[in-house]
């Protein structure tokens, strides 16, 4: 059987619902991992995707994060949040006299499910903001917890993958101009070392097959004509275990989904498995 699995930072699932439904109809993924829902779980458009044959495991609070898994081939053993997932406490909320929470918040950044013969995690790794910021330390802590969470599944005989917006470019060639990122997040040694830890745990980067361009990117800023100029970075990644990567028959970035008005600033990454 052929199983098509994709990941897409949708950048607000309700604001881009028509784009999402259009893409589901055309690309026909069996499983789609979504990030940056910007929707509460209850407000997720379950019925709209159900009409196209998809079950959904959604996890969101309506803020800037949120993740989901859509599946046509079954949805079982759903887990929301990483085991032991760290929370984030913005330093500004710890000031005396504020009405903001003083305890770290567990953000909805991870959801897992078994979809037919494959198990997947949909993850939205913290951005990090800037090197030295509390959010950067939180990002590295979160990635360490992700590594611990996937070790058992990575070592198993079932095809398994972690898909999502990692907010890390694995190499300098994954950035249109790495000099523009000097001293910034997404390209630091510590972040890339966290990706190397995933590889040490038994996962490999499923690199998309280049189509129009020699090196595929997955994110382009809305500003400065970044998309038509191809000023992009590859931060939406698929890390699979050996049974997963050995079954890959095709993989690509669907740039067409990034074109036009009202799109996400990310493009879907699609992986076909021959199982």
> Could you count the other beta carbons within 10 Å of the beta carbon of residue 25?
9
Residue pLDDT, tens place only, 125-183: 999 999 999 999 999 999 999 999 999 999 999 999 999 999 999 999 999 999 999 99
pLDDT given for residue 26 in this prediction: 98
Is 230 a known ligand-binding residue? no
The CA-based angle 29-35-38, given to 5 degrees, is: 125
pLDDT given for residue 98 in this prediction: 55
Check 81, 153, 165, 236 and give the catalytic one.
Answer: 165
Residue pLDDT, tens place only, 180-222: 999 999 999 999 999 999 999 999 999 998 877 778 999 999 9
Q: What domains, with CATH codes, occur in the chain?
A: 2-94+102-274 (3.60.10.10)
Check 124, 136, 138, 219 and give the catalytic one.
Answer: 124
Burial status of residue 108 (CB atoms within 10 A of its CB: 0-12, 13-18, 19 or more): buried
The answer to whether the CB of 144 falls within 8 A of the CB of 194 is yes
- Please provide residue 153's backbone torsions phi and psi, each rounded to the nearest 5 degrees: -65, -35
Check 153, 236, 254, 266 and give the catalytic one.
Answer: 266
Is 265 a known ligand-binding residue? yes
pLDDT at position 47 over 80: yes
Element (H, E) at 34: strand 31-35
pLDDT given for residue 100 in this prediction: 57
Is 153 a known ligand-binding residue? no
DSSP helix/strand/coil, 236: strand
Residue pLDDT, tens place only, 57-95: 999 999 889 999 999 999 999 999 999 999 998 887 655
Residue with tokens 């038994």: 202
Is 215 a known ligand-binding residue? no
Is 148 a known ligand-binding residue? no
- Catalytic residue flag (residue 124): yes
- Catalytic residue flag (residue 254): no
The answer to whether the CB of 170 falls within 8 A of the CB of 193 is no
pLDDT given for residue 101 in this prediction: 58
pLDDT given for residue 214 in this prediction: 77
Is 9 a known ligand-binding residue? yes
- Catalytic residue flag (residue 213): no
């Amino acid at each position: 059987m052929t199983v098509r699995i994709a990941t897409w930072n949708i950048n607000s699932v309700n604001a881009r619902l028509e784009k999402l439904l259009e893409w589901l109809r055309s690309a026909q993924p069996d499983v789609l991992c979504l990030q940056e829902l910007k929707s509460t779980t209850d407000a997720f458009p379950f019925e709209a995707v159900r009409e196209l044959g998809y079950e959904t495991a959604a996890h969101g609070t309506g803020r800037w994060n949120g993740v989901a898994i859509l599946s046509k081939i079954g949805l079982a053993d759903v887990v929301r949040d990483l085991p032991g997932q760290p929370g984030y406490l913005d330093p500004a909320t710890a000031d005396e006299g504020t009405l903001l929470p003083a305890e770290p918040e567990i953000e909805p950044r991870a959801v897992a499910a078994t979809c037919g013969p494959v198990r997947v995690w949909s993850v939205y790794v913290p951005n990090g903001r800037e090197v030295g910021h509390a959010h950067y330390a939180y990002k590295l802590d979160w990635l360490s917890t992700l590594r611990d969470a996937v070790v058992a599944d990575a070592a198993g005989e079932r095809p398994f993958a972690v898909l999502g917006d990692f907010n890390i470019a694995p190499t300098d060639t994954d950035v249109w101009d790495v000099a523009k990122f000097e001293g910034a997040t997404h390209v630091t040694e510590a972040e890339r070392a966290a990706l190397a830890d995933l590889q040490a745990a038994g996962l490999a980067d499923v690199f998309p097959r280049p189509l129009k361009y020699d090196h595929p990117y997955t994110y382009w800023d809305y500003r400065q004509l970044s998309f038509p100029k191809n000023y992009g970075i590859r931060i939406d990644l698929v890390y699979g275990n050996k049974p997963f990567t050995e079954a890959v028959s095709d993989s690509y970035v669907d740039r067409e989904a990034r074109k036009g008005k009202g799109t996400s600033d990310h493009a879907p990454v699609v992986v076909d498995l021959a199982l």
